[in-house]
């Protein structure tokens, strides 16, 4: 089963976030444009578009994924760009569900870079 086909599991707390090594291993399963933050607590991807409308359209899709998967990334939007920052706020780090969420965003983005 591919990562985007899995279901995000809500974090109940009490779970250890991934180590840098675990996060780097999981990162191999998502689009190469995702960046692992220096502290290995965030996945960040900057999407670029030709206009605001396309950036907004992906932001709406990410919002729909967030509601369906109970994951809520931070997003920044502007003309021709959408920045997505994923972390599990409850444990201040990354778990498998964050990478599943990123894979679902990748799938929705299609050819967007």
What global pTM score does this model have? 0.90
pLDDT of residue 75: 98
Nearest to 3 by CA among 31, 43, 44: 31
pLDDT of residue 8: 65
Class of CATH domain 18-108: alpha beta
The tens place of each residue's pLDDT in the chain, 113 residues long, gives: 787 777 767 667 778 999 999 999 999 999 999 999 999 999 999 999 999 999 999 999 999 999 999 888 999 999 999 999 999 988 999 999 999 999 999 999 986 65
Residue boundaries of the structural domains of the chain: 18-108
Rounded to 5 degrees, what are φ and ψ at 81?
Answer: -150, 150
pLDDT of residue 84: 99
* Helices within the chain (DSSP H only): 20-27, 52-69, 96-109
């Amino acid at each position: 089963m591919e990562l985007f086909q899995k279901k995000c599991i809500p974090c109940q707390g009490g779970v250890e976030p991934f180590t840098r090594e675990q996060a780097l291993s999981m990162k191999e399963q998502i689009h190469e444009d995702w960046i692992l933050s220096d502290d290995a607590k965030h996945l960040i991807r900057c999407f670029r578009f030709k206009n605001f409308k396309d950036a907004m359209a992906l932001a709406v899709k990410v919002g729909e994924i967030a509601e369906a998967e109970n994951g809520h990334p931070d997003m920044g939007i502007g003309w021709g760009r959408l920045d997505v920052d994923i972390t599990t706020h409850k444990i201040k780090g990354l778990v498998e569900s964050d990478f599943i969420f990123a894979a679902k965003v990748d799938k929705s983005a299609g050819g967007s870079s």
